[in-house]
Homo-oligomer: A and B are copies of this chain.
């Protein structure tokens, strides 16, 4: 159990409200303290530095995000629905993304989509193709190492955990795109 004293909870709520109303830059220790009715220095006792505070709030915002779920029956429909859901989230959760980017945790959001996609691709039986050209963002590799989901094919997880040849991925994607566009 994490520290769930009443004060700490109220501090997080106040900070989150500040962020959603006026952006991350509007968060100051003194303003948060005033909102909660404490001396500025009390914040440090409960959540640590300003950066620690922002990380704690981002944790809550990510936890509250609606899960990315696939809709439809066919493999193509389901994969497409995951992509659409990811785009939707990207458009709706601007402040969450801003905060995550500022804290160097932007890829945590794209990671949620990667997991959902991997689940659908396993169901579609795409392990072979997937293996040959492993997608995945450079730094999300570390996150994959901790995933333990029975619905995801071990081969895919292994490919995501191993080193990604980003150059090869780029070349492959570009080729496929040009195939589609150039008649």
Contacts and interface: CB of A to CB of B under 8 A. Distances in A.
A181 B129 contact: yes
Interface stretch (A37-45, A52-60, A146-154, A170-178): A170-178
Contacts of A175: 80
24 contacts: A75-B182, A76-B178, A76-B182, A79-B178, A79-B182, A80-B174, A80-B175, A83-B174, A84-B170, A84-B174, A87-B170, A101-B101, A124-B182, A126-B181, A126-B182, A129-B181, A129-B183, A176-B176, A176-B177, A176-B180, A176-B181, A177-B180, A179-B180, A180-B180
Given A79-B182, A87-B170, 9 more contacts: A75-B182, A76-B182, A80-B174, A80-B175, A83-B174, A84-B170, A124-B182, A126-B181, A179-B180
Interface residues of A, number: 22
Nearest to A133: B181
Nearest to A124: B182
A40 to B, nearest CB: 21
Contacts of A180: 176-177, 179-180
Contacts of A87: 170
